[in-house]
A and B are shown apart, each in its own frame.
Chain A
Amino acid sequence: MELTSEEKATLNGEHGDTLQTAYRILVATGEATNAEKLIPITWAHLSGVNYNTIGDAGEQFLRELSKDARVKVKATVNPMGIDFDHISEFNHIDDEFIKKQASIRDSYIRMGVEPTFSCTPYDIFDLPEKNTQVSFAESNAAIFANSLGGLKTNKESAFSALASAITGKSPYSDLRKDDISTPMTIRMKMDNPSELDFGMLGFFAGKVGDTSVNISGVSQPNRRSCKALCGGMGTSGTCAKFQFVDTEDTTSEKVDFGKEEMNEVFDELNTAEKGDIITLGSPQLGLEELSDLSKMLKGKSFEKRCMIFCSRAVQEQARALDYINEIERAGGEILSDCCTCLTPLIDTNETDAITTNSIKGAYYLKNSTGVDVNLKSLAKIIEDETK
């Protein structure tokens, strides 16, 4: 990779340790993806915020780094493990977790990030103009940005996005370029798919696709389904972009996603016939989804605990529009700054299985939290679990 003389000097430590570290990461990821140069980016979205995922080493690293490092471009951050406003209601969470999570939160804020604590930055901010180069580490957000937002990013790592935030640069490679080879086409064969079906389609596509896939046989999915597709795809592989196509080109490889393929994904992730509690939100719910949910819950109440995750910014808007009132009246528990994935708010001593409509949530509940999962679409959850 070609570096400018200024970039070389920074890599050699002439502008301090922090920038040297950031450039070391950019050079390694640049070499890894055969980039020829570094280019400016305007927005970095960082992962590595939940103490459950980054641990003591991560907490210490960020505490040290934040003494000196400041973000150079707009930077937003992923969810934490907990919602500090509600932490007193969760007695099973120990003080050590709360202390370390607070330290991580404070380190990011010290570096100058916007305290979004959300995996759905695209639901909070207006997106910049088409083809803007960004650097998103959260996989569902990277896929959304590339596929539905018209932006350009690779599926960044926690450190590559952090290095981009501090330097304002990213290696110019892969999905950042225009010349992408013809990707595989996934043919959607299921009629009237729910958001759960879209999540499974995404999970399947992520497994079989490489960097980018075409999807045919899909017409105008709503935002809930689009987000489910992005979440599922980001969980299972390295694929970071899809495009809906009307007509299939003749040259690309074709793979069908029908009943058989869907059942296979379902059987891999669905391990229980019913859940002790319900979680909604991974990705965190947006305003439109909360509006839908409040309408679906009119005159009904949840028969069991239902945790609903949305970003704080979206929660505030939804409160002003009275959506939250209706959801809370129905017994829904609104939580912000965290999400189904890897939250310790789910007490595994008291919970054997969880009902959710999220494929991404299901994967992490099963493999990281260590509980069983009961998969249902939102419509089916409302039908079965409310009265």
Chain B
Amino acid sequence: MSKIIVQGTAQGTVLKTSSPINFLGAVDKKTGTIRDQKYDIFEKSIKDTILVFPHGIGSSVGAYTIYSLKSNNSAPVAMICTKADLTVASGCALANIPMIVVSNDEFNSIQDGNKITVDTKSANVFN
């Protein structure tokens, strides 16, 4: 069952990682590129994707990174997590990036590279 954290509609290609993301340390706030080698999406860009990841970790200032990404037109169009943390939730709320929390089964069902739609007003929320 999906839970809506920040409302909105978006369409995009899924970029999926099994790593929790430290936005302050791991994401280039100008380009949206992952710059920490420890991530399985190293050197990929989260720009314009539907970013699917477990949850955020690390610095509370990561919320500013999410806001900066949006201001630099390098943000994901939506985020899907299995657990909502305060940094990602508040960053998405301020940046107006739709964000939902899904069950582990739903998380597993989302395929990297697929085109999907997130619509927090629809019954399915994502498909």
Q: Give B93's nearest chain A residue, CB to CB.
A: A28
Q: Does A160 contact B (CB under 8 A)?
A: yes
Q: Count of chain A residues with Cβ under 8 Å from any Cβ of B?
A: 37
CB-defined contacts of B45 to chain A, threshold 8 Å: none
Contacts of B49 in A (CB 8 A): none
For the complex, give the distance between the alpha carbons of A60 and B84 in Å. 27
| Bound form: Cα–Cα A53–B57 in Å | 16
Residues of chain A contacted by B57 (CB below 8 angstroms):
237-238
- A155 to B60 alpha-carbon distance, docked (Å): 8
Does B72 touch A at the CB level, under 8 Å?
yes
Contact B6 A58 (CB under 8 A): no
Query: What's the A-B contact tally at a CB cutoff of 8 Å?
Result: 111
* Binary contact readout B8-50 vs A (1 if CB under 8 angstroms, 0 otherwise): 0000000000000000110001000000100000000000000
Which residues A331-387 have CB closer than 8 A to chain B? 367-368
**A25/B93 in contact, CB under 8 A:** yes
A58 to B94, CA, bound (A): 12
> With A29-B89, A159-B93 as given contacts, are A55 and B84 in contact (CB-CB < 8 Å)?
no
Q: From B70, which residue of chain A is reached at the shortest CB distance?
A: A57
Q: Is B58 an interface residue (CB 8 A)?
A: yes
Determine whether the beta carbon of A53 is less than 8 Å from that of B61: yes
Q: Which residues of A contact B61 (CB under 8 A)?
A: 47-48, 50, 53-54, 158
Interface majority SS on A: helix, strand, loop or mixed? helix
Q: Does B62 sit within 8 A of A, measured CB to CB?
A: yes
B60 touches which of A25, A27, A47, A163 (Cβ 8 Å): A47
**Could you tell me if A25 and B84 are in contact, using CB atoms closer than 8 angstroms?**
no
Q: Interface digits, B39-82 against A, CB 8 Å rule (1 contact, 0 not)?
A: 00000000000000000011111111001101110000000000
- Among A29, A155, A159, find the residue whose CB has the most chain B CB atoms closer than 10 A: A159
Minimum distance in angstroms from A232 CB to a CB of chain B: 13
Give B4's nearest chain A residue, CB to CB.
A31
Closest CB in chain A relative to B30 CB, distance in Å:
8
B24 near A28: Cβ-Cβ < 8 Å = no
Binding site for B on A (CB under 8 A): 21, 24-25, 27-29, 31-33, 47-48, 50, 53-58, 60-61, 137-139, 154-161, 163, 235, 237-238, 367-368
CB<8 Å pairs between A and B, sample of 25 = A24-B94, A28-B89, A29-B89, A32-B85, A32-B86, A47-B60, A47-B61, A50-B61, A53-B61, A54-B64, A55-B68, A57-B64, A58-B64, A138-B60, A156-B60, A157-B87, A158-B60, A159-B93, A160-B89, A161-B60, A235-B58, A237-B57, A238-B57, A367-B25, A367-B36
Which 3 A-B pairs rank lowest in CB-CB distance, beginning with the nearest?
A32-B84, A28-B93, A159-B90
